[in-house]
Amino acid sequence: MADVAHSGNSMDNEDDGDRPEPDQEPVTGRGRRRKNKKQRSFWKELPILIGVALLLALVIQTFIARVFVIPSESMEQTLHGCPGCYGDRVLVDKLVYNFTEPEPGEVIVFERPSTWNRSEFQADRSSNGFVSWLQDVGAAFGLAAPDEDDVVKRIVAVGGQRVECCDDQNRVLVDGKPLDEPYIYWSGGPREQEPFEPVTVPDGQLWVLGDNRNRSCDSRCQGGGGTNGLVPVDNVIGKARYIVLPPSRWRGVGDHDPQVTDVALRFGLPLGVGFAAAFPTLWLGRRVRTAVRSIRSGESSGSAGDKQ
């Protein structure tokens, strides 16, 4: 009897029982099943998440924006910082002055110049080194009062301008023109500004005043006044943008330019720009409507011709 020829791969001769089942996990060289990686538990990932969040917050606070606590009443009522109350937390833009120069009317936070010899508040810092360090960290994140070297004021005059006080209506003058200051607040005492000698602001310097005019030690009194009261532009930390806490105080921080006293100029210029922009817009709109109508008319004529 002739032998039956076998064809195909030798695998055909293997017992079906030796083949791995489809659902069976692959086996390692040592005969052990490969185990899936175990996911990290939430409690192991939590410290990593906290560390990343703190790192991002530190980068933002250092280079982009910082939350600053208003520690004194010198900027009332624009910014709350009354003694014993919950002071405003203000978002300070640290990028803006990389591209522009500080302008009159802007509320700024800056490092106290070396010529300033008075502080408007006493920083409540613990004598314990570790606790004091924690307070400094909290101040950097807007959770505690800042140190005594951080100050917030409003710019009144910039380099090249001459500032003096006051005219017969008790207004500060810049380059001989009275300022328009609707933000001034009188928390007590006479509603009269303390006069000071005329000062010409050098380039790269700023003359700053507090909105709570007679409860603020600013360029008028720091270092005895005069040029000692000026603030170098290099000392500016940033521009106060928004009040972020408490929720009842959510709003932007105004930057009304006190040197623009002409109401017609203040409102007329934006209005004129609006009118100037309106004419091209209307013209373009009419051209587009005319083109659309022409296209529709052509399509209607074509359809009528096809039917004839």
Is there a catalytic annotation at residue 74? yes
| Catalytic one of 72, 153, 216, 239 | 153
**Starting at the edge strand that comes first in sequence, how are the strands of the sheet with 177-178 ordered?**
177-178, 172-174, 162-165, 196-200
219 annotated active-site: no
> Which is catalytic among the residues 72, 74, 216, 219?
74
Q: What residues act catalytically? A: 74, 153
